[in-house]
């Protein structure tokens, strides 16, 4: 028995049939601000996947990195006048507290980019040795012209890749590049940014290379499922795959899975628009189970809109489910929830099954536990 999950690279729902030990990599946070709803929604998606895989008898090794060497972190540290690693440590602790409150299972490893500089150096050298990168000026670039299937993860045409690269920090006009879609593996640091020595000069890693180096270090050359928010499909995951397969000559990922973004007032929730809903603010008012239930009542692959009535209605739903506690385990309900999760992680359908069972006076404790919601907890 296996789950059916949408694979971004194949652009369809396919069986996800990993071996007993599942190797999974999920792109984590850049720790410069509090956890918002979009983060929580992404990480809850993979948490429900992990719970169902464990329920199916798998052992899951999930690695979720912490990007503590990155432009937005340096910018925020500069603004606050603090050391970037102090800012990162504080925000990482806040993030972990939010994840724990939302009952997200602990991951196998949460490595920091700053721990991976020797791994990144070795990785970049391997890409250079394989002839897929070049040194130009003070930087090292990946050469997309050497990688025939660049674009296979996203499936985006050239113009769309250029548009998104420009939008998401790809500096397509950099005169040192041979091709505007070439991306940085190593770059010089600004005067107040950290710098490490390398054969190509002092500097710091590019954005994408950290995840490839950490996946290789923590999980090996091949992972079964790779996840993240949908905004990471391009360029981040496209570039990760290209450089990983160039360094190792091994297929990097079996299955790519992405969680949709969330909107508020008709616009995508984002830092730049200032329309974020923060988890710690919600936790001041609501039971964390209410927050978790409100988020997973949406399908992970469908963009949805935040409404102020989501938490009150989720709270009522949680109370109804809690009112069912005390009967026998309902095997038919448990099987219905499992079937919903196996159908491309259809958590709204799973919740609907629980709703109707509860309205018939059946006990939902075990079924809700499959969704990571403990109806008995105080």
Please report how close the Cβ of residue 63 comes to Zn ion at its closest, in angstroms.
10
Q: Which range touches Zn ion (CB under 5 A), out of 89-97, 164-172, 207-215, 365-373?
A: 207-215
Query: Closer CB to Zn ion, residue 37 or residue 211?
Result: 211
- 50 vs 22: CA distance, rounded Å: 9
Beta-sheet pairing, 21-26 with 59-64: parallel
Q: Report the candidate in 292, 225, 261 with the shortest Cα–Cα distance to residue 44.
A: 292
Query: Closer CB to Zn ion, residue 116 or residue 368?
Result: 116
Query: Closer CB to Zn ion, residue 150 or residue 321?
Result: 150
Q: Report the candidate in 123, 140, 146 with the shortest Cα–Cα distance to residue 206.
A: 140
Query: Closer CB to Zn ion, residue 27 or residue 242?
Result: 27
Q: Which residues contact 62 (CB under 8 A, 6 or more apart)?
A: 24, 25, 26, 46, 50, 107, 108
Q: Which range touches Zn ion (CB under 5 A), out of 7-15, 206-214, 258-266, 366-374?
A: 206-214
Q: Which residues contact 207 (CB under 8 A, 6 or more apart)?
A: 67, 70, 71, 169, 184, 236
Binder of Zn ion out of 211, 214, 216, 334 (CB under 5 A): 211
Residue pair 232/27 in contact by the 8 Å Cβ criterion: yes
Q: Which range touches Zn ion (CB under 5 A), out of 21-29, 37-45, 160-168, 303-311?
A: 21-29
Residue pair 345/297 in contact by the 8 Å Cβ criterion: no
- 120 vs 133: CA distance, rounded Å: 14
Binding residues among 113-132 for Zn ion as defined by CB under 5 A:
none
Q: Which range touches Zn ion (CB under 5 A), out of 13-21, 44-52, 192-200, 203-211?
A: 203-211
Contact map string, positions 247 to 286, toward Zn ion, x by CB under 5 A: ----------------------------------------
How long, in residues, is the chain?
A: 378
Please report how close the Cβ of residue 302 comes to Zn ion at its closest, in angstroms.
23
**Chain centre to alpha carbon of residue 196:** 27
Please report how close the Cβ of residue 50 comes to Zn ion at its closest, in angstroms.
18
Please report how close the Cβ of residue 210 comes to Zn ion at its closest, in angstroms.
7
Query: Closer CB to Zn ion, residue 64 or residue 121?
Result: 64
Please report how close the Cβ of residue 263 comes to Zn ion at its closest, in angstroms.
23
Query: Closer CB to Zn ion, residue 142 or residue 286?
Result: 142
- 279 vs 284: CA distance, rounded Å: 9
Please report how close the Cβ of residue 164 comes to Zn ion at its closest, in angstroms.
15
27 binds Zn ion (CB under 5 A): yes
Q: Which range touches Zn ion (CB under 5 A), out of 22-30, 130-138, 190-198, 273-281?
A: 22-30
Q: Which range touches Zn ion (CB under 5 A), out of 132-140, 208-216, 292-300, 309-317?
A: 208-216
- 314 vs 32: CA distance, rounded Å: 29
Please report how close the Cβ of residue 180 comes to Zn ion at its closest, in angstroms.
22
Query: Closer CB to Zn ion, residue 204 or residue 353?
Result: 204
Please report how close the Cβ of residue 66 comes to Zn ion at its closest, in angstroms.
11
Please report how close the Cβ of residue 252 comes to Zn ion at its closest, in angstroms.
12
Query: Closer CB to Zn ion, residue 9 or residue 337?
Result: 9
Please report how close the Cβ of residue 332 comes to Zn ion at its closest, in angstroms.
40
Query: Closer CB to Zn ion, residue 113 or residue 337?
Result: 113
The residues binding Zn ion (CB under 5 A) are 27, 211
């Amino acid at each position: 028995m296996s789950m059916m999950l949408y694979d971004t690279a194949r652009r369809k729902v396919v069986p996800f049939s990993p071996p007993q030990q599942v190797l999974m990599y999920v792109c984590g946070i850049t720790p410069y601000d509090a956890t918002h709803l979009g983060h929580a929604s992404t990480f809850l998606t993979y948490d429900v996947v992990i719970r169902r895989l464990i329920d199916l008898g798998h052992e899951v090794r999930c690695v979720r990195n912490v990007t503590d060497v990155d432009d937005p972190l340096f910018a925020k540290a500069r603004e606050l006048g603090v050391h970037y690693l102090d800012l990162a440590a504080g925000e990482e602790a806040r993030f972990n507290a939010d994840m724990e409150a939302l009952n997200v299972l602990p991951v196998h490893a949460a490595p920091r980019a700053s721990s991976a500089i020797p791994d990144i150096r070795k990785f970049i050298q391997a890409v250079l040795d394989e002839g897929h990168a070049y040194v130009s000026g003070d930087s090292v670039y990946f050469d997309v012209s050497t990688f025939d299937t660049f674009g296979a993860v996203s499936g985006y045409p050239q113009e769309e890749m250029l548009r998104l690269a420009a939008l998401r920090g790809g500096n397509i006009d950099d005169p040192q590049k041979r091709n505007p879609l070439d991306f940085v593996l190593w770059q010089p640091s600004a005067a107040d940014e950290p710098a490490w020595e390398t054969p190509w000069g002092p500097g710091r890693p590019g954005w994408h290379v950290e995840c490839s180096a950490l996946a290789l270090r923590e999980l090996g050359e091949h992972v079964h499922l790779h996840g993240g928010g949908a905004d990471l499909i391009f360029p981040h995951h496209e570039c990760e795959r290209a450089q990983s397969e160039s360094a190792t000559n091994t297929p990097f990922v079996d299955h790519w899975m992405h969680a949709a973004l969330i909107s508020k007032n008709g616009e995508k929730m984002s830092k730049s628009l200032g329309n974020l809903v923060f988890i710690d603010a919600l936790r001041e008012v609501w039971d964390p189970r209410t927050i978790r239930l409100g988020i997973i009542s949406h399908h992970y692959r469908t963009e949805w809109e935040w409404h102020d009535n989501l938490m009150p209605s989720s709270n009522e739903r949680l109370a109804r489910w809690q009112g069912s506690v005390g009967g026998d385990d309902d095997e038919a309900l448990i099987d219905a929830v499992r079937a919903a999760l196996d159908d491309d992680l259809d958590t709204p359908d799973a919740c609907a099954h629980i709703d109707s069972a509860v309205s018939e006076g059946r006990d939902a404790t075990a079924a809700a536990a499959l969704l990571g919601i403990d109806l008995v907890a105080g």
